[in-house]
Amino acid sequence: MTALYVTLVLDLEPYPQPRPRVTCRGKIPRAYEVPRATAWKAAALLLIKQEMKRWKVKKFTGPLRVSCEFALKRGAVPIERTKPDLDNLAKSLLDAATNAGLWQDDRQVVELSLRKRFAGGAPYITLNVWDIAR
């Protein structure tokens, strides 16, 4: 049975979804992702799967409300001027959650709440998911 609500805490520094890079081989353009982004998504996927197993969470299949909190390392500037952009942080996390099997596709997310802040200690991500079909 699918849970109605789950909170996953990932001990992982938030990382934004970068713009795709393009290279050409002959006349054929090919898009690719930077290696750091690929490595981050692999780490996030593993942590999400571990949390799903720990809490016995099955794949969500209906419409979802999602809340994400990204706790960043403290910087020298105020949080509102701190990079990365919040929407790019969300893109990378939602892609990793889709690939981990938390839900079928991120288009199931019909309500999205995002927050970035400075972490008191180590950086982390909190992902809350509600099945709103029930």
Residue-range domain boundaries for the chain: 5-131
Helix and strand counts by DSSP (H, E) for the chain:
2, 6
> Of 98, 119, 132, which Cα lies nearest the Cα of 17?
98
Following DSSP, what letter does each residue of 36-67 receive, concatenated?
HHHHHHHHHHHHHHHHHHHTTPPPB-S-EEEE
Rounded to whole angstroms, the Cα distance separating 100 from 8 reads 13
Confidence tier at 126 by pLDDT (50, 70, 90):
very high
Answer whether residue 120 shows pLDDT above 70: yes
Confidence tier at 92 by pLDDT (50, 70, 90):
very high
Answer whether residue 108 shows pLDDT above 60: yes
Residues 83-95 have a mean pLDDT of: 95
Rg (the chain; Cα; Å): 16
Task: Give domain 5-131's CATH superfamily.
Answer: Holliday junction resolvase RusA (3.30.1330.70)
Q: What is the pLDDT of residues 38-76, one digit of tens each?
A: 999 999 999 999 999 999 999 999 999 999 999 999 888
pTM: 0.90
